[in-house]
Amino acid sequence: MPLPTRPVRPLARIFFNHVKSAMVAMTAAALAGVLHAEPLKVPLDSDDKGTVYVAPNVTSTEKSVDTTGATVGVQRPDGSGVYGGVDTATPRPTYSLGASTPGNVSYSAGVQSDGKTNNGVKAGVTIKY
């Protein structure tokens, strides 16, 4: 009794399937990088004075999403803003406050602390051209 045979796929089709899989993987990696580039800001209220937003700190696993705090802020139409938040991902919650100025040369500053050992100050300049 002869053994059953399967048709052999052409080499071009095998190559195309590997290239397609590689392109899907690269696209997924690129999208993951873009999605993690800036925190998600969910607008709560908006008017001509500005937008009030919340930016949750979320981490995902295969089966769930965990929230470990959030930042609440106000972004004004001129580019200035203020924020305050809490991060509970560490054993001691970390609190943060900050602000930024409007204009083509914008200054920003912020502080964070857990009330004991984790203290920090950050400052920055953004130049729009």
User: Tens digit of pLDDT for each residue in 82-102?
Assistant: 999 999 888 889 999 999 999
Please state the domain extents for the chain.
7-37, 40-127
**CA distance to 45, 54, 76, 98, per residue, from 50 (Å):** 8, 13, 4, 17
Question: In angstroms, rounded to a whole number, what is the distance separating the alpha carbons of residues 19 and 108?
Answer: 45
Q: Check residue 3 and give its pLDDT.
A: 56
pLDDT at 75: 92
28/86 Cα distance (integer angstroms): 30
Residue ranges, the chain, pLDDT below 50: none
**What's residue 71's pLDDT?**
92
pLDDT for residue 63? 82
- Residue at 46: amino acid letter: S
